[in-house]
Structure formats: C-alpha cells, structure tokens
Structure 1
Amino acid sequence: MFEVRTDLAVEENERITKAQEETKGISVTEEDYGEEQIHITTVRITTENGAKQMGKPKGTYITLEAAEMIEDDEDYHREISKRLAEILKELIPVCDKQKNYKESTENQKKVSRKGFAQAKHELEGTSILVAGLGNRLVTPDALGPQVADNLYITRHIIKEFGRRAYENEQVQPVSAIVPGVMAQTGMESQEIITGIIREVKPDYLIVVDALAARSVRRLGRTIQITDTGIYPGSGVGNHRYSITKETTGIPVIAIGIPTVVEAATIVYDSMSALIDELAHAESLQPLKTSWNRLTEAEHRNLVRELLSPQLNHMFVTPKDIDAEIKRMSYTISEAINLAFCG
C-alpha cells in the first residue's frame, strides 16, 4: 500500500473530509485575515479515536497559510511574524511580572523555599529553549539551524543580571541549540535535547524543523504550530525518536514549514488536472468517470505503479529553496523574538 506522507494536520483533515468519513473527536475552526492575506486553521484532536483517524497525537494543530510567503517582501513577512508571535504567546503563557529579588533575598528566612523560588522565577521569567532541528548542510533541511542562528539569545544575561538588564523588563530567558543529525553526531536529537533540559531546566521547549507536505501549493507557504511535539523525519519515512512532553518532561511546541513534497504527489496532481481538462471532450468522459470511481489511495497507488522505482522514493523541493529557507527562517525567528523578547 502506497502511504502518502505529510506532516500537516490540516492536510489529514482535508483527506478525511474528502473521503466523507465520519469524524469524532476532531474540531476545526478557521480565521481569515483578508487584508494580510493570511488564513489560519486550527485543528483540535480531543479523543483517541480522533487521533487514530488523523494518524496524529491528541492536541492542537494551528496552520498559518500565506500564499505570498515565498515572495521577498519584508513588510509582508513582518505581518506573518506578528501573527505567529500571537499564536506562540497563547501557547506559552510567560511570566510578565517581577518582584524585588533583592528584597526577597533579604527576607528569604521568612518565606518558604517554594515562595523564594517563585520570586526568583518572576525575576528571571519563563525560560525557553529553542532547538533548531535538521541538517544545515542540506538546504531543504536547514530551516531549524538557520532559525536558531537568528534568535535573540538572552538567558545568560538574565541569569547574571535579571530582566532589569533590558529596557523591556518583559524579556524572557531564551537559549538555543542546534543538535545536528545522527550522521553528524552519532546521537539522536532527542538524546541531546533531553540532556540539555536536564542541566538547563527550561520551562518550555520550542522545536523548529522542516516538514513534508502532500500538496505542492503548500511548499513554503504554510507554517504549522502544534503543542504535541514532533516526530523528526516522519514526513519522509525516516522515523527518529519523538521529542514530546512525555520524552522531555516539559511542554514542547513544534513549529514547521513544509519544504519537500513526494514526487508521486506531483505526478498524481498533474494526472488529476490533465484528466479534468481532457474530460471536456465527450469521447473522453468515460476516462474521467473511471478515474473518479477510484479512491484517493487507489489513485496514488496507481501513480506509484506507473512510476519507475527510482522515482517512488524521491522527494522534490523548489529550485530557489536556499533563498526561501533564508526568508522563512527570518520570519520564524522574528516571531519568537517578538513573542519573548519584545
């Protein structure tokens, strides 16, 4: 059986809707920001049945779609970053109040250990670790590392001087790591990140990674944010250890942009469009009728049988992916900076 791979929950929901399957435990809401040409779809999986149907863990999946995101327009990307920052603030409630740490220190004998720790936390803020997953030497997979490169890192300053070291005292302690891939380190990304969490003790983990899509139109135009963590490589059939709350011990927010699509998907989309066009001729109407009798899975299995073995496992990326990765990495890093560093 040919499995169509995608990391996007919104595409799985479209598949279920198209197949007219009964959905339970899945809710979908949509928001359209016409002036900014941004469309946001929120898919919530609330039951085990819904998770099984979607093939994804229970949780919230927010998809931000911006058709012009591939364009080199700084003002437009700034609007996307602002929307993404708002979403991150909703998913990660930060500590925006401060107490006088010195005063608490002088009176620490009078307060409980828990109360003193809380005062210290309010001084330092909500600690956030950002992990840029992927291989910076492989352009379509370099999104995570490039995002980490552009972040505003604040943890070391706040640990030393507190948030009053910054003009904006709502700045949160942000740190970052690029764990690389197993071929470079001999270690799973999850192993490296878990070890860092054990020492650094952040409150939240944000992982950024490149994704795989089912539709060509979503390449470089879609950002998915989820509170379920991530399963690196699953979109291209290269399953690695999961990075989730269960494996790390802290809440994990995953951000991803699809940068590759399976070759078979391109052939399938082209065949569907060709049959629709040819079907305008009355003599070819039976061809369209026969095609429409097949399910989407049967369509894709047929396509795979027609493809050569070399193409069956090939993934395709846009020709200007290097420029796109650079723009998209700035968009995500700016959103994180806006959300937690003002």
Structure 2
Amino acid sequence: MQLTGRTDMAAEFVKGKNGIRCESYELYGEKITEILVSEKETALFNRPCGRYFTVDSTDVPYADGQIHALCTVLNKLLPEGKCLVTGLGNPSVASDSLGWRAAGRVLATSHFIESMHNADGIGNVSVIRTDVSANSGIDSVFHAIFCAEKIKADYIVAIDSLACSEPERLCRSIQVTDTGITPGSTTGNRNRLDRAAAGIPVIAVGVPTTMEYESDNDRFFVTRYDIDAEISRYAHIISCALNRSLCPSLSYSDISMLMNYS
C-alpha cells in the first residue's frame, strides 16, 4: 500500500520547484506560506494560476492562533460587496462534511442588512449548503452559481474538504486561495467553481481531511481516527474567522453568542 501523491495543497504540488514565488512567515504562532502560481506555471502544475495561502499548525494546534491567522489571510483575499458563503461536500460522510458544518455556523445577514439604519462593519452575507450530486442529482457548482446569480452576489466563499499527500498536513493545515475549487474532484467531477464559471471571484477555504492510497490497483482514501472531532474543531475555526472578517464591527463575544444561538 502506498500514497498516490494526489493533493489539493499548493504547498505540496510546488514543493522543490525552482522559480516559484513563495514566502513564509509566522503569525500568531502559525506558519503562513504564500504561493503565487503565474499563468506560465499553470501548465507546469496543471493547476489554476492565482494566490494560495497555507496556514500550518503544530502537532498541538492552538484554535485562537489559527482563527487570528486565518482572519489575516482572509482579509487579504476577500473582495468587497455581497458574499455568498457556500458549504460544499457530503454531510453524511464525516471526512467530507467540513463545508456543511462550517457554513452552518456562518452568520447570514442579508435578510435584514438592507433595513438597518447603520450597517457599517456588518457584511451582506448569504449562506447555502449544497449536497453532492449523488444525493441531489444536481452538481453543487450549478447550485452555487444559480444562487449567486439570483441574489446578485459580488463574490463566493466556498468551503470544502481537501486531500493531501503529506501525513503531517492531515487536519493540520488550512488552505485559502482565490483560484476557486473543483468540488468532488476525487469522484471524477471536472466542473470548477471559479471566476470563469461564476463570473465573480471565488475564494476557496479548505482543510485536508483525507489521503489517497493505492494497493493492488485499487485506490481508496484514509483519514484520521478522530476525524469527527477534527471536523468540529475546524468548522468552528473557519466559521469564526469568516464571521470576524465579514462582520468586523462585531466583537468576539458577540460573534460567539450569535454562533451559539444559531
């Protein structure tokens, strides 16, 4: 049994490649790696060009540090305007339920934001959670684009589980990119949720929750034994960071109270 090398993590697929613009620094106890894949390098890696940020944690992650570091990264990439947060994945599979569980804790404000007298610092946010096509018969990319068009969103934030090829990254890294995402790529889906498809920027946020192995010509995915706890923890970290970035006028205690209330 051996790893296939399949990965969604930019920090892995550009590893050891010369000429790649890569910068690493520490922030709130987390290691931040910023990678820029140019149009010229897109063909080399067979990956879309754009900016990739990775937030790497130690063996004992510190949630507050991860939240603060992720907020800083999000603030570098999130555009202005109306946001559609989209939770991707399969809610029935623990390792693929990150998008669903994180989006379920993001504060939706669009239904009352326009009637507020002073909405400064409160983002215009809508939230949906799509299901995999095997359950719904509808590609989640089409679902997200349709909703974004109907509500006239200015950009999409898509949350999903990812795959990695380095065991130390499993449930220990967060990747944020402005290149979009291909939901269900492990099952052969090729429809991308990105600016080209949606007509608006798509920011993808994900955590590697599985690794692909091969044995006797069979391929399968493995995950951590405590994946339920890890998914719960990262759903909290991602949703909290998004809430703080999208609604900066709310205090940490306000966000915590509203998240628990919802």
TM-score, scaled to structure 2: 0.89
Residue identity matched to 2:201:
P
1:66 aligns with 2:57: yes
Verify the 8 A CA contact 2:89 2:184 in the aligned structure 1.
no
Alignment-derived partner of residue 158 in structure 2: 207
Q: Any idea what the Cα deviations from partners look like across 1:113-138, whole Å, max 9, x if unmatched?
A: xxxxxxxxxxxxx2110000001110
**Aligned letter for 1:340?**
L
Tell me how large the CA RMSD over aligned residues is. 1.7
Gaps of 5+ in 1: 95-125, 265-306
* Structure 2 counterpart of 1:244, one-letter code: D
1:57 aligns with one of 39, 48, 66: 48
Bigger helix fraction? 1
In structure 2, distance between residues paired with 1:7 and 1:173: 30
Show the counterpart of 1:37. 29
**Distance change (3 Å), C-alpha of 1:163 and 1:155:** farther
The amino acid that maps onto 1:329 is A
**Rounded Cα–Cα distance in structure 2 between residues aligned with 1:153 and 1:163:** 18
Q: 1:191 to 1:93 in 2, by over 3 A?
A: closer
Counterpart-to-counterpart distance in 2, 1:30 and 1:221: 16
- The 1-side partners of 2:93 and 2:42 are apart by 32
What is the rounded CA distance, in whole Å, between the counterparts of 1:313 and 1:191 in structure 2? 28
SS of 2:14's equivalent in the other structure is helix
Q: Give yes or no for contact 2:132–2:184 (8 Å, CA) kept in 1.
A: no
Q: Secondary structure at the match of 2:235?
A: helix
- Residue 80 of structure 1 pairs with residue 80 of structure 2: no
Task: Please say if 1:28 is aligned against 2:22.
Answer: yes
Instruction: Output the CA distance in 1 between the equivalents of 2:22 and 2:130.
Output: 34
Q: Residues of 2 paired with 1:130 and 1:341: CA distance?
A: 13
* Residue aligning to 1:46: 38
CA–CA separation in structure 2 for the residues paired with 1:90 and 1:185:
34
More strand, by proportion: 2
Q: Distance in 1 between matches of 2:46 and 2:78?
A: 25
**Cross-structure match for 2:108:** 153
Alignment-derived partner of residue 13 in structure 1? 14
Aligned partner of 2:212 in structure 1 is: 262
Shift of 1:260: 0.3
Cα shift at 1:4: 2.3
Aligned twin of 2:177: 226
Whether the aligned pair in 2 keeps the contact of 1:9 and 1:54 (CA below 8 Å) is no
Is the CA contact 1:153–1:176 (under 8 Å) kept in the aligned structure 2? yes
Per-residue CA shift, 1:223-269, capped at 9, x if unaligned?
000000001233x35324100001001000000100001234xxxxx
Q: 2:76 aligns with which of 87, 90, 94?
A: 90
Checking the alignment, whether the CA contact within 8 Å between 1:260 and 1:317 is kept in structure 2 is yes
User: Which ranges in structure 2 are unaligned for 5 or more consecutive residues?
Assistant: 249-262
Looking at structure 2, the residues matched to 93 and 221 of structure 1 have their Cα atoms a distance apart, in angstroms, of 26
Distance in 1 of aligned mates of 2:4 and 2:191: 20
Which residue number corresponds to residue 260 of structure 2?
A: none
Shift of residue 329, structure 1, vs aligned partner: 0.4
1:324 matches 2:230? yes
Match of 1:177 among 128, 145, 149: 128
* Separation in structure 1 between the aligned mates of residue 50 and residue 116 of structure 2, nearest angstrom: 34
Is contact 2:86-2:156 (8 Å) kept? yes
Flag as ranges the 4+ runs of structure 1 deviating above 3 A: none
* Counterpart for residue 113 of structure 1: none
Cα distance between partner residues in 2 of 1:5 and 1:186: 26
On the 8 A contact 1:163/1:170 being kept in 2, the answer is no
**Distance (Å, rounded) in 2 between the aligned partners of 1:202 and 1:163:** 21
The offset of 1:32, in angstroms, is: 2.0
Amino acid at match of 2:73: I
* Mapping 1:92-107, distance limit 5 Å: 92-94=78-80
Q: How many residues align?
A: 246
Whole-Å separation in 1 of the counterparts to 2:165 and 2:244: 31
Normalising by structure 1, what TM-score?
A: 0.69
1:277 aligns with none
Partners of 1:163 and 1:172 within 8 A in 2: no
Counterpart for residue 333 of structure 1: 239
